[in-house]
Structure 1
């Protein structure tokens, strides 16, 4: 099974249409009844998440009726879809509104993410910014590109390696427990500046375009990472789980670090993660 250039264009158009029709009309326009908690007060779902996922899923099912479609919201109904990614002939992984807390708060730092996997390998990834209309597109073996709303396109490249005290980055420690949580927060004082966007879409966008040196996460849900990891790797970066093994579709544990190269990755693992 392979994905054609026409398929990629279709996927990009489907994501943009969902943003136009279901996400942006609700941005800074949500009523109390349009937002609900999932696992906590910082883990939210909105009407925009649900309707955008439904719209993208319907488009995918019409064009690829045999494909596995894994959406963040659909996962709450059927948990078996994530392990199935490891062997699926063709699968699509959707995060309709990544950064829902920001979206619900009226902060324009959120995105739509879509990954394509073929037999357990990510072959394409899309990160779309509904507010700016810009899109990061990565294709396995062909690079990562940022296309602006006006059509201008540029190839992405990760940051050059730097000394630890000159690095800018962040580790998402919100899903960690102590002592890891406290140790990593303390170790982040070793770098030049730390950021927390609470949005994987923006974090991968920033690290793939060289604005950040590194990012890291403990929780590895596929809709948060598959598209972004491919974008980072195709921009020249090195991403691996905390134990050094590659991150693969279907995996949800083990932690992950994205850095400019292998040496930088090892530096972050040792000095910031502390393992």
Structure 2
């Protein structure tokens, strides 16, 4: 292990550490993800909790490669990959209690990836006692990423290395807001409550990929994101990046988001005023139970 890469960090990850993490993600994408894109056979795709909840050889191979790199850099950290957590759910609790944990989504948007749709990404978050302190969302096809830590502004880094500060949208009247919702992942009873509420907004969509939804929001191209499925590998990085881009992210009941949360609704919005306005529209959801 390099002397400038300690097992556990108490402050922000250094620039050298962040560069090393980016390089790990890039190598995994080039080695395990991109060579399999649009080349998967049916034997390389399996289902998990639902017929449309997929896992591919790219997911498992990339997660293993990223986890190895993280373990070499930070042997004292808890490392939780989406696929490992499916086999051992206790990893989520361990990460929420850890001084330093890394949360990996090796191929976010697996359904898209498995069907040849280029809307997928790699998500990596670092948390301290359950609170996100570093977030990275990498687009393998564009070879660019959005990134933030808990002490610095969020940035977009292009494939050529150009660095741009991220700023969330300016919000506006409810009728002009657009956002992403994960309604199809909610119980049917919750969907019946939520569906009429969404007519208050200009537009609501879902990309089947949290990586690109949070990226779009952080770039100012969406005003809010609502989710009732609180997998930390989907949200920890994006929440931090949006917050550091000027946005607000909290549970719909107003409590802070941590990766220990496994029930309720997570709302991320352009700023505090937009969060309040969207939360007021969505308040009837508080009388329902998210899955």
Q: TM-score, normalised by structure 2?
A: 0.92
Q: Which moved more, 1:45-54 or 1:262-271?
A: 262-271
Aligned to 1:83: 93
2:118 aligned with 1:124? no
**What is the aligned counterpart of 1:234 among 244, 258, 269?**
244
**What is the aligned counterpart of 1:62 among 54, 72, 80?**
72
User: What's the CA shift string for 1:193-220, capped at 9, x where partnerless?
Assistant: 2221011001100111110000110011
Helix, strand or coil at the partner of 2:46: strand
Q: 2:263 and 2:157 mapped to 1: Cα distance?
A: 32
**C-alpha RMSD over aligned residues:** 1.2
Alpha-carbon offset, residue 255 of structure 1: 1.2
Q: Which moved more, 1:3-12 or 1:26-35?
A: 3-12
Cα pair 2:175 2:201 within 8 Å, conserved: yes
Alpha-carbon offset, residue 261 of structure 1: 2.0
Cα pair 1:158 1:260 within 8 Å, conserved: yes
Aligned to 2:270: 260
Q: Report how many residues are paired.
A: 275
Aligned to 1:208: 218
Q: 2:67 and 2:202 mapped to 1: Cα distance?
A: 41
Alpha-carbon spacing, 1:196–1:273, altered in 2? closer, same or farther (3 Å): farther
Q: 1:150 and 1:34 mapped to 2: Cα distance?
A: 33
Aligned to 2:19: 9
Alpha-carbon offset, residue 264 of structure 1: 1.5
Q: 1:271 and 1:79 mapped to 2: Cα distance?
A: 34
Structure 2 gap segments, 5+ residues each: 1-8, 286-291
Cα pair 2:79 2:95 within 8 Å, conserved: no
Helix, strand or coil at the partner of 1:197: coil
Aligned to 2:200: 190
Q: 1:62 and 1:104 mapped to 2: Cα distance?
A: 30
User: What's the CA shift string for 1:111-139, capped at 9, x where partnerless?
Assistant: 10000112332111000001111111111
Q: 2:237 and 2:271 mapped to 1: Cα distance?
A: 19
Alpha-carbon offset, residue 190 of structure 1: 1.8
Structure 1 gap segments, 5+ residues each: none
Cα pair 1:184 1:273 within 8 Å, conserved: no
Aligned to 1:93: 103
Helix, strand or coil at the partner of 2:262: coil
Q: Which moved more, 1:114-123 or 1:155-164?
A: 114-123
Cα pair 1:83 1:251 within 8 Å, conserved: no
2:52 aligned with 1:42? yes
Cα pair 1:93 1:115 within 8 Å, conserved: yes
Aligned to 1:217: 227
Cα pair 1:170 1:188 within 8 Å, conserved: no
Cα pair 1:134 1:148 within 8 Å, conserved: yes
Q: 2:50 and 2:130 mapped to 1: Cα distance?
A: 31
Cα pair 1:187 1:273 within 8 Å, conserved: no
